Chain A
Amino acid sequence: MSKQYEIPVGAQHISLLEPLHFKFTTENEKIISTAANVYYVHRGIEQACCSKFKFRQVSFVVGRVCGLCSISHTTAYSQVAEKLLNLEIPRRAKYLRMLVIELDRIHSHLLCLIHVSENAGFEALFMKTMQYREFSMELLEAICGNRIQYDFSIVGGVARDLKLPVAHEVVGRLKRFKPELDELMDIFMHNWTLSLKNKGSGKITRETAMRLNVVGPFARAAGLAIDVRNETEDLLPWKEVGFEMITGEDGDVHARNIVRLKEIYVSINIIENIINGLPESELVTETKAFPDGEAVVRLEAPRGELFYYAKGNKTQVLERLKIKAPTFSNIAGMVEGFTGNEYGSVPAIIASYDPCLSCTAR
């Protein structure tokens, strides 16, 4: 047996964007086992939601769980609250929610690709992708009025309407973005330097993904077709607007990049369909009821399945709110994915998991 080393990475490390800590046991350069420690940012949001805030205010609080997928959190919470209130929301609100979720997915996936290229040492691609991503941020700002915290979904519907000039702007900008996306696809697919760090590293198989209940692009890149958009029709009609399942095969960093890029194409398609067929209706269903009973909701956030559990007690304040973020399901898979890789590939692998620890620790 050769000599073993234990190398800690994090909680603060130059290649990490999130406060997480891995302890690698390596033999020379090869990682043979990993231990993870993920919680450094517990903020007690669930407790605050059940004690300090009224149930209508909670949709703004849970938006602050995560800066990247705040729309997924607010929408999932709004849906679970609507279930507790037995509320059917207007059709237009549903489509507008999907529109913002998909735009958010574009920016989040691009951000992940940015980190992968940066952590693999490809600074020029990092800047290029960052430049291309800016359009999605500006569109989100034009639709929601805020750049990061959209505060778009509220209990009963959505807070703002999509104005006609903004809708035209969205379509026009998406059209201009498509060739840029083709260019990115070409680079991520064929660039030789990038493939050195991406192809074959951080590999997990479909069986492992299944065994460890992995979700999101991480699972889909390994060939496990799990996507909440494919499953539930009652809350948001995804299939109606042109959702397609994207899966990869290899389950390595490269496959994850490609799955994300292909999903951006699907998102663009969905957004165009929504804008072309946006139904007219009210934006909010008002009610004076109080939440009662218990309900669960699943929603596909950019990183995978988001799960909300809520229990009401006929008062303004909820009895219990439980949030399960996508990264939480992926921790077990993340730890497994390092085994057998070289230590030098770790930054790129971590970035390709697209971990969001603020969501996980809440």
Chain B
Amino acid sequence: MNKTNGMKTFLKALGNLVKKPVTVKYPFEQTYIPDDYRGLIEFDESLCIWCRRCEMVCPPGAIVFSQDMEGKHTYHYNRAVCIYCTECVRTCPKEGAIYQTAQPASCALKAENINNGWNALFEEALKSRAAYAAEKKRLAAEKAQAAKKDSALTIKQQGKCTNSP
């Protein structure tokens, strides 16, 4: 290495001492987030038609709907299971019912019990839906039976009517 080159290197090294670092001091500075970052999925209950398509397409199963005995749906979403793929938004037939924000998800905490808790919730939600479906079936069957009885009764009555001149 010749002398001028060595001098240049030395000066450059000196210059580096006063240069700003290239890294981002993360907790104190925000890292780069583009405008249409894929962030948290938000849900608007008033627009949803409860078709459950978003639940069906979601690859990791981060959305699930539970149902109470009156048939009312409740939406559940897990930000730690979600992979932010936007499939749910793409498939939703009702624009605006489910949408993606640019808000990054916060860390999952141990207290939230985000894995086992979610699995339990998922099972529960499926069970609640099955229970509602069974209940509905039972009610429908009851109704059908009642209707049958009813119609049998009316036929009888009608028969009576025709039979008695």
A146 touching B84, Cβ below 8 Å? yes
B57 touching A141, Cβ below 8 Å? no
B34 touching A57, Cβ below 8 Å? no
User: Size of chain B's interface in residues, with CB distance under 8 A?
Assistant: 15
Within 8 A of A (CB), among B124-144: none
A145 touching B83, Cβ below 8 Å? no
Within 8 A of B (CB), among A121-180: 131, 134, 138, 141-142, 144-146, 149, 151, 154, 159-160, 163, 166
- CB contact under 8 A between A145 and B37, given known A131-B22, A151-B83: yes
A141 touching B34, Cβ below 8 Å? yes
> With a CB–CB cut-off of 8 A, which chain B residues contact A145?
34, 36-38, 84, 86
> How many angstroms between the C-alpha atoms of A138 and B32 in the bound complex?
7
B37 touching A141, Cβ below 8 Å? yes
User: Size of chain A's interface in residues, with CB distance under 8 A?
Assistant: 20
Indicate with 1 or 0, residue by residue over A50-91, a CB within 8 angstroms of chain B CB atoms: 000100110011000000000000000000000000000000
A60 touching B85, Cβ below 8 Å? yes
> With a CB–CB cut-off of 8 A, which chain A residues contact B57?
56-57
Expressed in whole angstroms, the minimum distance between the Cβ of B156 and any Cβ of chain A is 50
> How many angstroms between the C-alpha atoms of A160 and B100 in the bound complex?
13
Indicate with 1 or 0, residue by residue over B35-77, a CB within 8 angstroms of chain A CB atoms: 1111000000000000000000101000000000000000000
B90 CB within 8 Å of chain A: yes
Expressed in whole angstroms, the minimum distance between the Cβ of A282 and any Cβ of chain B is 13
A60 touching B34, Cβ below 8 Å? no
> How many angstroms between the C-alpha atoms of A57 and B54 in the bound complex?
12
> With a CB–CB cut-off of 8 A, which chain A residues contact B87?
56-57, 60, 154
> With a CB–CB cut-off of 8 A, which chain B residues contact A61?
59
Expressed in whole angstroms, the minimum distance between the Cβ of A277 and any Cβ of chain B is 24
> With a CB–CB cut-off of 8 A, which chain B residues contact A154?
87
A57 touching B83, Cβ below 8 Å? no
B34 touching A142, Cβ below 8 Å? yes
Partner of B83, one of A131, A138, A144, A149: A149
> With a CB–CB cut-off of 8 A, which chain A residues contact B85?
60, 151, 159
> With a CB–CB cut-off of 8 A, which chain A residues contact B59?
53, 57, 60-61
Which residue among B34, B38, B57, B84 has the maximum number of chain A CB atoms within 10 Å of its CB?
B34
In the assembled complex, 13 residue pairs joining A and B whose CB atoms fall closer than 8 Å, in A order, are A57-B59, A60-B87, A61-B59, A141-B34, A141-B37, A142-B34, A142-B35, A144-B38, A145-B37, A145-B38, A151-B85, A159-B90, A166-B34
Residues of A near any B CB (own CB < 8 A): 53, 56-57, 60-61, 131, 134, 138, 141-142, 144-146, 149, 151, 154, 159-160, 163, 166
Residues of B near any A CB (own CB < 8 A): 22, 32, 34-38, 57, 59, 83-87, 90
